[in-house]
Amino acid sequence: RVRCESGQNRSGLLCEIRTAIRSEPFTERYDVTPGRELGRGKFAVVRKCVEKSTGKEFAAKYMRKRRKGQDCRTEIIHEIAVLELAGACPRVVNLHEVYEMASEMVLVLEYAAGGEIFNQCVADRDEAFKEDDVKRLMRQILEGVAFLHRSSVVHLDLKPQNILLTSESPLGHIKVVDFGLSRLVSSSHEIREIMGTPEYVAPEVLNYEPISTATDMWSIGVLVYVMLTGISPFLGDDKQETFLNISQINVSYTEEEFETLDESAILFIKSLLIKEPESRATAEDCLKHQWLQLTEQDLKESICEPVSPDDEEEEEEELFVMASYTPD
Ligand code: ADP
Ligand code: MG
């Protein structure tokens, strides 16, 4: 057990975890699948592995404890704590085990076999998501984000690379990953200066203003835009131009990609890409938005079609979410 005074420190990092940190060599219990890694970021490499005792597949996130000469164990502990906190939410990737070696820690995560939604976002339009796919996936992303926000956790790096799929074809369910930039916003201390990915970053982050759950909602707005059109709405030729586009809310809704979409999709995006954080729709608001309501057709299909085992599982999942979401 790792403890600290109040369970959180001044910079919005959680510092108490209940997962046992294992010190035996990781490879004693897992076979690391040779070949291509699942992904990599600045300080982490993710590899597929198989638990020897069960034959189950997992994703191992190897994280260096020292980065740029700084000890980052506290940040890794925070990431573990957030994964634990979201353990009851099926929209967030599950943490199985944690290993610690001399210079790195390994987070053994539930394996999301469908990979990043990034691939479909940048695909040719015929291979890209259909509007109905985006609606379904967006509902799931919002369920995950609403869960986090109810726990005062802001993700701060919501983008297609950090939203994974349980399967690609048929299109499965989403899993939110990567809590490396996430923070707790309930603390009395204001959080500023955390920098996500230029294209997805909210105006208040650029202006060094306080960060809140609304900061994630801006990124959700950019994310929906990209998922529906394949266009990154604020991307400029360089970082400076991107930042200028964001701070001026220089965004177009007249691209031809919008022509075939439901008009309420544009209203949905417009309710998020708003400069003032307090005016943006919350995750709960978004789930109630007209664009995401099930149509009569959706309902008819769900009633008339024989329930496949997969659907049944999904239904149980939803109930579970509802039950575990009840605020006290
Ligand atoms: P970083 O903090 O370095 O961005 P991430 O947690 O985002 O680390 O992981 C990097 C990449 O590894 C992800 O974008 C994704 O492609 C892949 N990845 C991460 N977790 C999983 C997982 N549970 N299952 C499959 N792939 C994963
Ligand atoms: Mg990432």
Confidence at residue 190, expressed as pLDDT on a 0 to 100 scale = 79
Q: With cut-offs at 50, 70 and 90, classify the pLDDT of residue 196.
A: confident
> What is the pLDDT confidence band of residue 71, given thresholds at 50, 70 and 90?
very high
Residue 324 has pLDDT above 50, yes or no: no
Chain segment 21-64, per-residue pLDDT in tens = 999 999 999 999 998 899 998 889 999 999 999 999 999 999 99
- Catalytically active residues, by annotation: 157
Average pLDDT, the chain: 89
How far does residue 177's CA lie from ligand 1's centre (Å)? 7
Interface predicted TM-score (ipTM): 0.99
Q: What is the percent of the chain with per-residue pLDDT over 90, rounded to a whole number? A: 78
pTM of the model: 0.89
Following DSSP, what letter does each residue of 88-140 receive, concatenated?
T-TTBPPEEEEEE-SSEEEEEEE--TTEETHHHHHS-TTTSPPHHHHHHHHHH
Pocket of ligand 1 (CB under 6 A): 38-42, 44, 46, 59, 61, 93, 109-112, 116, 161-162, 164, 177-178, 180
Residue 191: band (very low, low, confident or very high) from pLDDT cuts 50, 70, 90: confident
What span, in angstroms and rounded, lies between the C-alpha atoms of 155 and 219?
10
Name which residue leads in pLDDT, 131 or 304.
Answer: 131
Sign of CA dihedral 146, 149, 153, 157: positive
pLDDT of residue 8: 65
Q: Which of the pair, 90 or 298, is modelled with greater confidence? A: 90
